[in-house]
Structure 1
Amino acid sequence: MTVTTPPHATGAPQRSGTPHRRRPPWPITVLGVVTAAMAVYLISAYVPPNVATSRIPTRGTLHYDLLVAHVFTATVASFTGPAQFWPWLRGRHPAVHRWAGRAYFFAGVFPSAVLAIPVAVMAPFGAANQAALGLLDVLWLATGIAGYRAVRRRRYADHRRWMIRNFSLTFGAIASRFWIPVMVLLTVPQSSSAAYNSDQIAVSHDIASGSAWLGLAVNLLLAELYIQRRYGVPPHRSGKAAGAAPVDSHR
């Protein structure tokens, strides 16, 4: 006769039938709070739309309308992006993860990046600033498309790498605001020197350009360092194996 000992008699912990809801890891929580707070601050100047309260000088009605549309769609990306990196949500509620991802790309990144290109061309802070914003927009769009194509092909490890790069660019516009005080400290003391000859327009252009380039470059660098540290270098795929869906060991 086999005697079955009840779990409570052995002192073994009993598992509840209801799975415990895990909170997001603290870096994701901090990232989400900072992103949401800055997004609310940035969009507040455009609710309701009023050209007089715009934080960026605009060149006419068309420029302002494109800017407002870009800001609103970028806000969608800012709010839905951090949720994509919550492991519990991805594992326990994949449908919510997928729909949030669709909203992030199709209602946020894609339209915002397309709208941002003419906004960058018409930006009033000089060619260096326009180049930084233009490159950011192109990379934002390219990494988003690459991430979408990867998940459609069920290459989830590649998808995760591309979306980390993509969100680093989503956060780039926010990060550039934190670089503005640094650029002010670097440029304003030189404003009366031979570098600027008291030309305040040149000073403001360098502040805007430098902060934009730093927001782009530093974010991408940190994203790549994180990817290499967390996931390593992806294995080389032969032409025969490229069509197969690889096993994702980091889900």
Structure 2
Amino acid sequence: MIKERSAKRLVAALLLLSVIPLAAGVFRLISLIGGAEMTPDNARFFEMPLPVVLHILSAGVYAILGPFQFAPGFRRRKPGWHHAAGRVLVLCGLMVGLTGLWMTLFYPIPYGGKLLFALRLLFGLAMVVSILLGFTAILRRDVNRHRAWMTRGYAIGLGAGTQALTEMAGTAIFGPPGDLSKALYMGTGWVINLAVAEWAIRRGYSRHDSKKQQDKRNLGL
């Protein structure tokens, strides 16, 4: 029962963390559809809207469906849903990562400088690789590695939610960010998410090993 409540809290927390980037994505779509005034900050989206539209739509699905994959009780009760949603999430996650890389390489981003450019490339590529490794792991029936790599991929994908918090905190403490601080706030968001993901992965392995040892003791091995 405690695990079930913990899983529900985890799903709620992940969905809550997605609220700010999802709201920003919806606002961006509305501005593109409604023909908002073009400015130096948004001109790149109007000149080539397809990558950002695909990025926002796929990120929305990824952020909303993703948390339910981490609820063990939900997976057990609805294995068919878990498998079907997993296929959708692989496609959406790859779309998020690949469109993010494309926008980094070909959109003129008017803030963040070279450090943010490098961080976007690094974490975008890491997200794509994590999802591919997770997908190939489940094809080999390696459930533990599948969960680990998918957790890492989701943590990177959810970076925008944590970055909103790190930037708000940094701005409140140090004032409006410059290029360096903007890059550091965003990088910190990704690092925090990955650190939490690694902690959860190691904790899961530890529990799995403890259960195996307990089963051996029960069998007298």
Q: TM-score, length-normalised on structure 1? A: 0.70
Question: Among residues 156, 160, 165, which one is paired with 1:173 in the alignment?
Answer: 160
Extract unaligned runs of 5+ from structure 2.
Answer: 215-221
Runs of 4+ in 1 over 6 A off after TM superposition: none
Q: Larger RCO: Structure 1 or Structure 2 (Cα < 8 Å, ≥ 6 residues apart)? A: 2
Map Cα deviations across residues 181-232 of structure 1 (whole Å, 9 max, x no partner): 23224543xxxxxxxxxxx8xx432342122101111111121122112314
Question: Among residues 166, 184, 199, which one is paired with 1:210 in the alignment?
Answer: 184
Extract unaligned runs of 5+ from structure 1.
Answer: 1-21, 189-199, 236-246
Q: Which amino acid aligns with 2:78?
A: H
Question: What is the distance in 2 between the residues matched to 1:64 and 1:204?
Answer: 27
Matches within 5 A, 1:95-114: 95-106=80-91, 108-114=92-98
CA contact (8 A) 1:67 1:119 kept: yes
Question: What is the distance in 2 between the residues matched to 1:54 and 1:230?
Answer: 48
Q: Could you say what the CA RMSD is over the residues aligned between the two structures, in angstroms?
A: 2.9
Residue 218 (structure 2) aligns with: none
Which structure has the larger Rg?
1
CA shift at 1:60, angstroms? 5.9
Q: TM-score, length-normalised on structure 2? A: 0.79
CA contact (8 A) 1:109 1:141 kept: yes
Question: What is the distance in 2 between the residues matched to 1:54 and 1:32?
Answer: 33
More moved, 215-224 vs 56-65: 56-65
CA, structure 1 residues 186+128, in 2 after alignment: closer, same or farther (shift >3 Å)?
Answer: farther
CA shift at 1:94, angstroms? 0.9
Question: Among residues 128, 148, 151, which one is paired with 1:164 in the alignment?
Answer: 151
Name the % identity.
Answer: 21
The number of equivalent residue pairs is 202
CA, structure 1 residues 32+225, in 2 after alignment: closer, same or farther (shift >3 Å)?
Answer: closer
Question: What is the distance in 1 between the residues matched to 2:63 and 2:54?
Answer: 14
